[in-house]
Structure 1
């Protein structure tokens, strides 16, 4: 991360939480100063704020432990993992038909800042095997699934993910101009699907559609990928099936 975007107070809070997690209920304020290298004045302000947020609690012996506020984040994180696992199970079940219909690979991903993370893949009959195993990351702006999810973000959130408005080229077809990119996202919002035609892998094209939650927010995306010449022949059925699969997985 570029240093100009770094927030020192958050880094210090992270150091404090990690120190307390290692020795819960043991470290007093002076101990935490020694452990983290943070001066007493800053430590006092940070601990008071973190106590108010219930990130930490001070015991009778003046030692600090993690508070209910941190437990809340852990609960939400675990719930998110469960939701993703349920989504993966549903994707693997529902995408089998889509694969049979199109004869190509289908994939599921979520958006993480300016990247997508692949959650699952259902292989098609094509002899071409895509390097998109679960857990792998790719730049969102160069992928159909990434563009689909970025297109549905509020403008301020989109710009927050790309504060410098820099879009690195992955292939010669990758959109790198910010104005052209945002115009493409506007078209994607209108169409309800996104395409990647050799923008992430030369010779490969993808079509993607959004998976929505009950409020209509995009929580994931599905895509089908194939060789460019195959996509030219299968475009209509590919778009139909990827949108149908996304609809089946959506809660809205």
Structure 2
């Protein structure tokens, strides 16, 4: 592996964590120093920093074990796969209720990253597939997740008034309009995309939250524009209910 942009301190922290994980509550500072060939001064700094970050815990006897922060991060790592599994199970039922394809995505800066899709047979397939990205401001999924951010965070993501990346004639063009829509989405609990991502298609999305109430993803369903007026209320209701089941909390 090329180490052109390598950070040696992180590599040292990694080997320390691996050593502690192999012998939890067994190794003291001097033991780690000898075993890993890291001088005591550097080892002290590493352990002190990791203890402050809650990566490790210093026991009463001076030995070390892994800290709660690593447990939290590891739990989140596995939960992301659990969410996709639960989405597939739950959405496979809901898609038949509303007769529309349902998608799961997460927010990555100014983009929506598609994670999974439960598809209904249709003569027209949605172009969005797991692994694809689209501009968040142009999609119901993105707006549902952007609405969970503080306005200051949204402004930091979109420092310019002109948003750019117009996917259709109906894509939001200005930060002012985006902020207005996000305020409304916070009140109603779900977001809509009216031909903003793809001409001829409308979409409704709702946020998925973790146990602390933080938005970690969103789900949506899309349909032809001519079906929107007949199915929008049912679709909104079912998508919010599905988001509630996937969340630890509930959808408004």
TM-score when normalising by structure 2: 0.72
Deviation string, structure 1 residues 192-238 (Cα, Å, up to 9, x no partner): 11000111111111100111122222111110011111222211211
Structure 2 residue aligned with 1:122: 118
Structure 2 residue aligned with 1:30: none
Structure 1 residue 148, shift from structure 2 partner:
0.7
- Of residues 7, 31, 39, the one that matches 1:60 is 39
Aligned partners of 2:100 and 2:120 also within 8 Å: yes
- The 3 A distance-change label for structure 1 pair 164 and 126 is same
Separation (CA, whole Å) in 2 of partners of 1:18 and 1:203: 53
Structure 1 residue 16, shift from structure 2 partner:
4.6
Structure 2 residue 7 is matched with structure 1 residue 17: yes
Structure 2 residue aligned with 1:215: 212
Structure 2 residue aligned with 1:182: 179
- The 3 A distance-change label for structure 1 pair 81 and 130 is farther
Structure 2 residue aligned with 1:85: 81
Structure 2 residue aligned with 1:44: none
* 3-state SS, counterpart of residue 116 of structure 1: strand
How do residues 65-80 of structure 1 correspond to structure 2 at under 5 angstroms?
Answer: 68=50, 78-80=74-76
The count of residues paired between Structure 1 and Structure 2 equals: 207
Aligned partners of 2:101 and 2:117 also within 8 Å: yes
- The 3 A distance-change label for structure 1 pair 61 and 236 is closer
- Of residues 155, 161, 172, the one that matches 1:159 is 155
Structure 1 residue 79, shift from structure 2 partner:
3.9
Separation (CA, whole Å) in 1 of partners of 2:200 and 2:238: 21
Q: Which runs of 5+ in 2 are unaligned?
A: 16-35, 56-66
Separation (CA, whole Å) in 1 of partners of 2:227 and 2:42: 65
Q: Which runs of 5+ in 1 are unaligned?
A: 1-13, 26-56
* 3-state SS, counterpart of residue 205 of structure 1: strand
Root-mean-square deviation (Å): 3.0
Aligned partners of 2:151 and 2:179 also within 8 Å: no
Structure 1 residue aligned with 2:29: none
- The 3 A distance-change label for structure 1 pair 76 and 133 is farther
- The 3 A distance-change label for structure 1 pair 18 and 141 is farther
Structure 2 residue 189 is matched with structure 1 residue 192: yes
Aligned partners of 2:107 and 2:217 also within 8 Å: yes
TM-score when normalising by structure 1: 0.72
